[in-house]
Amino acid sequence: MGKADFLSPKAISNRIKAKGLQKLRWYCQMCQKQCRDENGFKCHCMSESHQRQLLLASENPTKFMDYFSDEFKSDFVELLRRRFGTKRVHNNIVYNEYISNREHIHMNSTQWETLTDFTKWLGREGFCKVDETPKGWYIQYIDRDPETIRRQEEQERRKKQELDDEERSARFIEEQVRRGRDGKETEETPAYTELKRESEEEKVVFNLGASSCVAGPSKSSSVMGASALKAAASTSTKRKDTSSSETRGEKKKKKSALEEIIEMEEKKKQKQQAVRTDYWLQPNIVVKVTTKRLGEKYHKKKAVVTEVRDRYAAVVKMIDSGDKLKLDQDHVETVIPAPGKRVLILNGPYRDTEALLEGIDEKNFSATLTLDSGEQKGKRVDVAYEDFCKLA
């Protein structure tokens, strides 16, 4: 077996040494060759193949630079679209993933000198939304795919249709309430008139036991008539008092049933918004590490929060290795245990309350919990995934 064979020890050794990323200053973009040291790069620059590539590039240098710039831009934007979608992300995170491919186009062969210049160019050309923060530049891909735009318009149309249905039902309920209120106000009330006689000599007689009334000169009839008039007068007075009290009651009751329901819902929403915060870390809960900056050793591994600092940072202890790390709350996420386990509610109206996980509703991204502490112990509530976490 010769020294240049594929399975020779020398060839295997060279492939092992060339594995992974090498130094950028020893890479030739024209020849697409990576050298391991300065001597190898010097020998490559003196080689005949490299000299031929330089002669080709010297004839039309703009053509080669435009080609490399276009390839770099296309690969970078494609990685941003596939890997992160339309999420807002730091430009350095995308660039580190891009250069992890050994065959990538190097930035020193393009028209951009720095990553910041390239990021600004993406914003000016309308490929991404860019914004500068104290932590650096952030980019967000703008998806102009016709299928995506059609899907978004369909979702907006459905939302508008649902809102129209809700408004239509609300208007129908208001119309029913208004009709009911108007019907009560327009109910016929009895009209009381003054008792008049056609002639002064005629006497009015009320015969309560008989079906007809007669006029006569009897004394007993006149006595009965007087008592009947008193009774009618007292009855009319009571009816007037009752009608006036009903009118005052209607004046006091200004709000309809629908208005009271809407007011209760608004108070409930305001109460829930008042108790919600943008920080949720608590000691003695189990979280999962989501950041990749710490390497595969800690990525997607579970840890226990031992201490919370400044509300947004926490000192965690890895369950597998026992290592202690200080992480931001954006770099961890809550852990949902199996039904029957104890959890701690981290946000919302039942914050800092321990509960028992009864069931999980995957469709609505929530779970049913039974409160195990506090004044409302034993109450069953529905809580979103991000608002509770497994207890250590």
Structural domain including 378 reads: 285-390
Q: Residue 125 domain-assigned?
A: yes
Q: Residue 27 domain-assigned?
A: yes
Question: Coil, helix or strand for 217?
Answer: coil
Q: Residue 85 domain-assigned?
A: yes
pLDDT band (50, 70, 90) for residue 47: confident
Q: Residue 255 domain-assigned?
A: no
Query: For the chain, how far is it from start to end, CA to CA, in angstroms?
Result: 61
Look up the CATH number of the domain holding residue 65. Answer: 1.10.10.2030
Residue-wise pLDDT tens digits, 206-227: 667 554 444 444 444 444 455 5
Q: Residue 185 domain-assigned?
A: no
The runs of H, that is alpha helices, within the chain are 9-17, 38-45, 48-59, 61-84, 91-99, 115-125, 146-185, 219-252, 257-275
Distance CA 356, CA 379 (A): 10
Domain boundary (141, 171, 199) is at 141
pLDDT band (50, 70, 90) for residue 303: very high
Look up the CATH number of the domain holding residue 370. Answer: 2.30.30.30
Mean pLDDT of the chain: 78
Question: What is the structure's pLDDT at 90?
Answer: 92
Domain boundary (94, 112, 141) is at 141
Q: Residue 178 domain-assigned?
A: no
Q: Residue 151 domain-assigned?
A: no
Average pLDDT over residues 306-316: 89
Q: Residue 44 domain-assigned?
A: yes
Q: Are 139 and 122 in contact (CB under 8 A)?
A: yes
Domain boundary (141, 174, 190) is at 141
Residue-wise pLDDT tens digits, 135-144: 899 999 988 7
pTM of the complete model: 0.35
The distance of Cα 69 from the centroid of its chain, to the nearest Å, equals 38
Total structural domains within the chain: 2
pLDDT band (50, 70, 90) for residue 253: low
